[in-house]
Structure 1
């Protein structure tokens, strides 16, 4: 979407219509493809407080999405019935649901028609599960009791329909309960990552007899594998941290692992018997690189690179150690990913890549493509069939703006170009160890529908751009990030016609604190300010906050005084709030356990003492029963906040 001209908004729609569409928006967690990539499933919540089960049929060219009839949970029922945490789809359309209860997990088989059957219970506070590699019903479960990562684990199996109950398959030492995978197409050996004397060592768990053995005789990493003689030369990893297997290709018996080498983590690949060969090509990609999928033959892997708001896919050839960009829709976050393996005797064509994607203007959709080794791909996408999935949302894109010390990356969302839009708002994220992410923000869509174009910057101090970038906010709350916000506002003001009003400010939590600092530092730059769950200063918050928040303030140096031409970063200091001239909206939940509501009450009292008139110069609205995110689920507060940013006035 970068550089695309915003579409003209359909102003004939009523705000209620948009909100009705938003209530059908599905938030997915636990999204997983079947072992063959022919099915997918996810646990889903919507805007009506419901949780249900969603399945996708990926066997054809056009995915079919449906909600499993009858499987529905309300938030109020979760404490009584347990909390669904993970799903495993099978190729016959059934799904295994993992339900967490104190000290154990229930296993629930859900059929395509909605029929449910509790298969049994596995003791354990932490449980991971894997379906058989051929996509048939069944599962291997690895469970650990308690929160000690050094504790031993137990393996359980579900075989057959599955008809249950789970059967204890063997005992294992302490495991890293992520990564790994099957080592053979029959599902007899499963690779696990064993915690061994301060390092991670790949091992194979034998499902039939419950034993396990290390894949490498030499514990020092992939470079010294005794299984194949081990070269020990430049091709080996030999790191002190061992190898952590991330993905496996059961048909080929190939591993893709991360290994520590000379203080850096690099990827390596090779047969399960070893040795693994270090891959240098991925190391040349700037940003955070994560493998998402390994094709069945073990040669091709999909890598995702993220840096800030940018997200790209690459195709890694593990045989030739080369990386090529994988053509994919811009402006999306991509993943999870799976290669669909053609069914035996079925005319499904070559392996097809499936990918879940989401963008600033696009709720989650499935993308599918046949990918060549050159990285060429023609993607087709499918929505989930809900009104939210098909609504004409406001366009969004990523844009770089000039800053006082380098570019400022921002998410832009709106029906109108920010240069000519009637109203613009700078939205400041919470944290301070936070960032705006490239995803679908329903708040931005509500603002856009009210005629307000959103610019959501990630100023210095945001996470996602490396540690050095984040360090700008440590011991300097309201330092470089405030300078970035003020510079960005000046840039925006200078690029808009003189008959357009100045930008507004919106901020939540730390972003609300930063918004108030900016409004006081440069009063003439702003038209209106909306502060949700603000605080007066790091010191003031420290006095009122709970221990976890105090620990965060100590870790990030929030009580360190910053003083420059903008004055101290304490809104209670004399001369600070008296500079505020823009109309102000203060929203706070009365049950906020992060930033106590007393911070907003003190802010409102101080404004009144300075002569500001409640209901005219500022509005203070405390939301009964709400926590740190008081707008959540409230149609009236979303729409009223959007109206305030567009025209002022407060009428929730």
Structure 2
């Protein structure tokens, strides 16, 4: 018996002609709200800053190519005059802050280095006045946070403060752009403090009770939006910065159904824009802070990203749909408020929403193509587990659709956006109710397939990878093949060597508890490896900081010792990649390997190797 195939070096070429694949990540707005920037890439191109000019009737963007490019871990912040500060992350952890000045025409850009650090984590907060393009927060373990003022010109950065604790976030409180609210983490507790950047002092934000944190502010109106956590529930509160009275927690604001994310306050502090996700869709709600009452903005099919800005020119949000990559759009301020998006046709495939009658109730899914008649159908499982598929652009799903492969992306139990009972069904039961839902949808798709059609294909990243492999082990004959990205072996194994944030998630959701009493037994992939008898592609980033690559290596080695005559396992370890290789420097090659595997005709059974 031969060992599974291992690919350490990625090679390959783009497939046949297909619509361009676009990546847009890390949207940020300038302090004035006149500009926005994101990191973008198209097909094989490397990531580059994309600058959005919001001063006209419609947002306009252009891509600015930097000589050395940027990495997926980099971030960019626009200045008030349309320049860009790039927080560039390089090999070895070195971080450089670069000032990129676009030419008046074209995409040419001049670049100057402003700040270089070799130790610690660096974050940028867009400034609000002409003397401060941004503040740089350098967080060093065992030391605290050093704050630098970046002037947005060739002048040297100025050190503003040196604080013996970790500072994060950043909400401007005043019109002059001197007072910045930050979250201070110290001794296991987090509280909101105010940095006076003109004096270099840090003091608590008065009036907040224990467990209450600042989310947004309207500097002109002096209005603050806070969140108070109590018993695992967050309530939104409103207060004035110059008022000593208690925070008010409006009942109608806190009775909104769905997953609520505050986006922005208008400059006067009269209205609040909220992103509300219900199932696979999200909408903008406008709340009147003085009179109460909510108004939904629409129509718009798709989803909202957690970035927005509201200034005297109006509200801008980041919107995406299955056939539209993320982009900045304006929100009209008329009585019939709506998203102002271009109406031109796109080359990308649309998607529809379908409901399945699950074993414990309806299951919603995003569907591309025709799962009955398509050449193949992929059952895609999301990561998380506290996550959900939404009506948003996905480069992998678009590539599959272009190849004639249908995609069904369900939000099984454990997904967010469908109420507490649906979300909490897997607490203490990872691979229990959610696995039952996945198997049910898989059987439904298999029964619906046209005569002679191939069996469904499994795909999933992270938690979805773990769930996909459990489904493949539970009913090996239901599936034709499976491709997974960054799987973990079990909750207990991940707890043993995962980072602190993952261990906290496992503790909170009962991810270490074992399921017993059914035919599958404990959900441990090493124990279940002998049941994985289908063609399998495992992809893992070499430098995954969330799920150690050792989990996939151990699974690869265990499957090499499987006693049965199964199908071929291909193991692809992506050099230098993190948790999501589909957004890394080699993303287009990883994408093509995935698409080639998922689109391939089912092979005849053969042994490993």
TM-score, normalising length: structure 1: 0.74
* Structure number with bigger Rg: 1
Q: Find the counterpart in structure 2 of residue 157 from structure 1.
A: 149
Q: Find the counterpart in structure 1 of residue 597 from structure 2.
A: 641
Q: How does 1:298-337 map to 2 (within 5 A)?
A: 298-307=269-278, 309-337=280-308
Inter-CA distance 282–197: structure 2 relative to 1 (3 Å threshold) = farther
Residue among 38, 54, 57 paired with 1:61: 57
Residue among 393, 398, 403 paired with 2:358: 403
Q: How does 1:427-576 map to 2 (within 5 A)?
A: 427-430=380-383, 435-436=388-389, 438-462=391-415, 469-495=422-448, 500-508=453-461, 511-512=464-465, 514-519=467-472, 521-522=474-475, 525-526=478-479, 528-532=480-484, 538=490, 542=493, 546=497, 548=499, 555=507, 556-557=510-511, 560-565=514-519, 569=523
Is the CA contact 2:476–2:531 (under 8 Å) kept in the aligned structure 1?
A: no
Which has the higher relative contact order, 1 or 2, with Cα contacts under 8 A spaced 6 or more apart? Answer: 2
What is the alpha-carbon distance in structure 2 between the residues aligned to residue 28 and residue 536 of structure 1?
A: 25
Are 1:370 and 2:332 counterparts? yes
SS in 1 for 2:62: strand
What is the alpha-carbon distance in structure 1 between the residues aligned to residue 84 and residue 494 of structure 2?
A: 49
Query: How far did 1:473 drift?
Result: 3.8
What is the alpha-carbon distance in structure 2 between the residues aligned to residue 514 and residue 15 of structure 1?
A: 29
Q: Find the counterpart in structure 2 of residue 584 from structure 1.
A: 535
Are 1:94 and 2:83 counterparts? yes
Inter-CA distance 610–215: structure 2 relative to 1 (3 Å threshold) = closer
Query: How far did 1:181 drift?
Result: 0.8
Query: How far did 1:466 drift?
Result: 6.4
Residue among 9, 26, 31 paired with 1:35: 31
Query: How far did 1:302 drift?
Result: 0.8
Are 1:240 and 2:210 counterparts? yes
SS in 2 for 1:407: strand
Q: Find the counterpart in structure 2 of residue 348 from structure 1.
A: none
Is the CA contact 2:416–2:423 (under 8 Å) kept in the aligned structure 1?
A: yes
Residue among 116, 131, 155 paired with 2:111: 116
What is the alpha-carbon distance in structure 2 between the residues aligned to residue 572 and residue 123 of structure 1?
A: 40
Q: Find the counterpart in structure 1 of residue 120 from structure 2.
A: 125
Q: Find the counterpart in structure 1 of residue 241 from structure 2.
A: 272
Is the CA contact 1:49–1:74 (under 8 Å) kept in the aligned structure 2?
A: no
Is the CA contact 1:368–1:381 (under 8 Å) kept in the aligned structure 2?
A: no
Is the CA contact 1:121–1:166 (under 8 Å) kept in the aligned structure 2?
A: no
SS in 2 for 1:248: strand
Q: Find the counterpart in structure 2 of residue 361 from structure 1.
A: 323
Query: How far did 1:375 drift?
Result: 5.8
Is the CA contact 1:590–1:597 (under 8 Å) kept in the aligned structure 2?
A: no
Query: How far did 1:107 drift?
Result: 3.7
Query: How far did 1:325 drift?
Result: 1.6
Query: How far did 1:403 drift?
Result: 0.9
Deviations 1:253-284 (A, max 9, x none): 33222235787532233432024433332200
Q: Find the counterpart in structure 1 of residue 5 from structure 2.
A: none
SS in 2 for 1:35: coil
SS in 1 for 2:588: coil
Structure 2 stretches lacking a partner, 5+ long: 1-13, 104-108, 543-547
Kindly report the root-mean-square deviation, in angstroms, between the aligned alpha carbons of the 2 structures: 4.2
Query: How far did 1:425 drift?
Result: 2.3
Are 1:622 and 2:571 counterparts? yes
Query: How far did 1:332 drift?
Result: 2.0
Query: How far did 1:435 drift?
Result: 4.6
